[in-house]
Chains A and B, each alone.
Chain A
Amino acid sequence: MSGGLDGPEPEERATPEGRRNSQGIRIDPEVEAEPEPQRAVLSALVKHEPGVLANVSGLFRRRQFNIESLTVGPTTDPDRARITLEIKEPEPGIEQAKKQLEKLVPVISVTELESNAIRRELALIKVDGSDPDQVGAVAEMYDGKTVDVSQQSVTVEITGSEQKIDAAVETFGRFGIHEIVRTGTAALERGTRKTT
């Protein structure tokens, strides 16, 4: 093999102090802390045109951001839609996700919502119909309502925070859940604070 160059060998070279973590942040080499993943809700106002949702979901896929939920719907402006994303990432990842989203040309603006923002999810839960009264009572406990009843099944609608839905799903489990659908989180800022 040929092609070698002259000069002091690697071991002979002085190595500088310091170290970065895998996020590229300079750290105390003794501590080596890696940031923990956190949940964040991002709200993106986007142009209401074909391909936007595919672009947003494609971006999250190819950059390997963890999406917990994604919802999309129209706004009062027919040319604008709103996408709400719940993601779970270490802090630098949340920042990066926001910036990458903002970089998509059809995305108009992006905000990370405050932790006290209004967050709601809707679930339809279809359970076994053998005890409709009991099902109705549990639904009431969760401020839900029965929306469909048949010989075999009862379907209830529950709205609330993700945690509340989780709890309801667990409780309804004892009736035997046939099918379930959840919308994912929709969120808006409280009071006069604007979402985007």
Chain B
Amino acid sequence: MSERTTKPPEEEEAESDADADTTPTPVTSGATSTVRALENAGIEVMFGVQGGAIMPVYDALWDSDLRHVMMAHEQGAAHAADAYNVVSGKPGVCLATSGPGATNLVTGLADANMDSDAVVALTGQVPQHMVGSDAFQETDTTGITAPITKNNYFASDPDTVGDTVGEAVALARSGRPGPTLVDLPKDVTNAETDREPGMAQTPETYTPQDEADPESVETVADAVEAAEKPLLLFGGGVVKANAADVAREFAMEYELPVVTTMPGIGTMPEDHDLCLSWAGMHGTGYANMAINHTDLLIAVGTRFDDRLTGGIETFAPSAEVAHIDIDPAEISKNIHADYPLIGDAGRVLEQLDDALTGAPDVDDWREQCQTWKEQYPMDYAAPDDEPLKPQFVVEALDEATSDEAVVTSGVGQHQMWASQYWTFREPRKWISSHGLGTMGYGLPAAIGARLAADDDEEVVCVDGDGSFLMTVEELSVAVRENLDITIAILNNEYIGMVRQWQDAFFEGRHMAAGYSWIPEFDKLAEAFGARGWRVDDYDEVADAVEEALNYDGPSVIDFHIDPEENVYPMVPSGGANDKFALSEDQL
């Protein structure tokens, strides 16, 4: 047996406590300036993987109080940083070396870019005199990541590298958040400098608008007062803007029905009468009916993704659209905005609240929404002669955890069941890969979430067997760091969503969708040093969930579910939202 090379957590803690009393070590190099810039920007945690070109920065971390979580793979580092950001609202930072380290971050950065998450990536680079020579582990990192970052930087000067890192952090978290990257050539991080970086600030030319034009707000207020079927649509932007409180108060004050997007889950408590839950391809029937029958859609912080809209031609076809967003480029990108309001979600909703003189009389419309709720209940069938249903597992987990629990997921059927059958009451609790749809997001996201969440908030990863296998190596990190997370695998031995589409659209030809052999995940968990359970039957669910949640460390429950179970409702790709199918024969 090999000897452990890292110190036990207690000793580490004692050491960092001792460090906290000392004054910050002076800036002596580009690398120490980089670390100082992160400290100045309030960064506390980072996720990364070592490697040649980034070693000077890692060496500078030796003398810093920054907590570094050593991940198994750079993709895991990016996802962990991403989830850390979504849960805490603070920027998530990830580190990687040049070449493969940087390219391994790409999926995570693209994911953060699609979901507007504040992630800062620091990548090592070969020394500048070797750039362009196809040196060992050289890759064009800024070129590769330009389309998937909000902005990126090639730091060429040791005296200003700290300022650049500070700017990258400030830019990532301001306006519409997004990932930024600083590429750090080794000669720059190694070079001597004693220049202290300034405070993190955004570039002068970056000036996101906070308040909407007051006249436009008045016009929208008039439209709201005149509307017969107004509907609020809360997107992920409401979460980013920390505007969930303002948004839900607005909805409750004017008694307007609310649907959310998937990233907007939790902005409105899902068990509130006015909340119709989330709309889109696998959203609730009632949310999709409301979307397509509203006459005034008040959309806040959403980019009208195709998984939300279905076919553009039939999306909210009789509605005027008021679109509140901080990013002007989202206005009329996919859905024409009759009333564009550019600004911070919370601030603009306050402006609108001030401009409104009263609530519109929409009793009939509210009643209609309630009727749809009754007509299209999210009630799955669980006959005795069929295997364990995944929806039951999700409900059992929700039941056994507090309202503060944080849920991460991979991508696929399990993601849909988790988001459909878990009742979310707060934002920053549903952590998933929405825009990019990255299988494998769930486990590294749970690690990031665990570092961000309070100790009394459970972190549960609802994963699929396919997704789990994509980033399973990160389980070693959860064990090493002794992170209390519960991973519930909804195991159908399929890339389930693909199998569902093959049944619906490819005549049941299950090409590369099924696993003829799949690891025993409970034993795999034990091999990693985590705890593992296998569950096949309904009567085993509650005990396994309780034991796993009670275990203080990473645990894995391998739920063998009905492999034939499908996700409904379903709006076929490009279809009309109100024509969602409730079963396969309706597709």
Contact = CB atoms under 8 A, between A and B. Distances in A.
Interface of A: 1-10, 13-26, 47, 50-51, 54-55, 58-59, 62, 92, 95-96, 99-100, 102-108
Nearest to B286: A7
Contacts of B376: 5-8
Contact of B581 (A10, A19, A103): A10
Nearest to A61: B147
Contacts of A100: 329
Contacts of B143: 51, 54
Contact of A21 (B313, B562, B564): B313
Nearest to B580: A10
Contacts of B315: 20, 24
Contact of B378 (A5, A96, A105, A107): A5
Contacts of B328: 99, 102-103
Given A2-B386, A24-B335, A16 B292 contact: yes
Contacts of B329: 96, 99-100, 102-103
Contacts of B320: 26
Contact of A3 (B332, B568, B580): B568
A24 B584 contact: no
Contacts of A104: 151
Contact of A105 (B203, B333, B579, B581): B203
Interface string B213-256: 00000000000000000000000000000000000000000000
B184 to A, nearest CB: 16
Interface of B: 142-143, 146-147, 150-151, 154, 171, 203, 205-206, 285, 289, 292-293, 304, 312-315, 317-320, 327-329, 331-336, 338, 375-381, 386, 503, 562, 564-569, 576, 578-584, 586
A58 B142 CA distance: 12
15 contacts: A1-B566, A1-B583, A1-B584, A5-B285, A18-B317, A20-B335, A24-B334, A25-B336, A47-B205, A92-B332, A92-B336, A96-B329, A99-B328, A103-B329, A105-B171
Q: Counting chain B CB atoms within 10 Å of each CB, which of A10, A25, A106 scores highest?
A: A10
A41 B85 CA distance: 40
The 5 closest A-B pairs by CB, nearest first: A4-B583, A18-B317, A3-B566, A105-B151, A99-B329
B242 to A, nearest CB: 22
Given A51-B146, A105-B206, A17 B584 contact: no
Nearest to A51: B142
B30 to A, nearest CB: 19
A58 B146 contact: yes
B562 to A, nearest CB: 7
A82 B466 CA distance: 49
A20 B154 contact: no
Contacts of A23: 336
A6 B379 contact: yes
Given A58-B147, A96-B329, A4 B582 contact: yes
Contacts of A17: 317-318
Nearest to B175: A103
Contacts of A92: 332, 336
A50 B562 CA distance: 55
B578 A15 contact: yes
Given A6-B379, A10-B581, A105-B150, 16 more contacts: A1-B566, A1-B583, A2-B386, A2-B562, A3-B565, A5-B378, A5-B569, A5-B582, A8-B376, A16-B317, A17-B318, A19-B313, A26-B318, A26-B338, A51-B142, A99-B328
Contacts of A24: 304, 312, 315, 332, 334-336
A10 B314 CA distance: 14
A61 to B, nearest CB: 9
A103 B151 CA distance: 10
Nearest to A7: B376
A2 B565 contact: yes
A106 B146 CA distance: 12
A5 B379 contact: yes
Nearest to A16: B318
A51 B141 CA distance: 12
B565 A20 contact: no
A106 B203 CA distance: 9
Nearest to A21: B313
Nearest to A46: B205
B568 A95 contact: no
B336 A5 contact: no
A183 B331 CA distance: 34
B375 A7 contact: yes
A105 B586 contact: no
Contacts of A62: 147
A20 B312 contact: yes
A47 to B, nearest CB: 8
B375 A19 contact: no
A189 to B, nearest CB: 21
A6 B318 contact: no
A17 B578 CA distance: 12
A20 B203 CA distance: 39
A5 B380 contact: yes
Q: Counting chain A CB atoms within 10 Å of each CB, which of B143, B150, B312, B327 scores highest?
A: B312
Contacts of B317: 16-20, 26
Contacts of A50: 154
Nearest to A10: B579
A7 B564 contact: no
A15 B313 CA distance: 13
Contact of B205 (A5, A13, A18, A105): A105
A103 B503 CA distance: 42
B140 to A, nearest CB: 10
A75 to B, nearest CB: 15
B379 A54 contact: no
A121 B521 CA distance: 66
A147 B526 CA distance: 80
A15 to B, nearest CB: 7
Nearest to A99: B329
A99 B332 CA distance: 11
A20 to B, nearest CB: 5
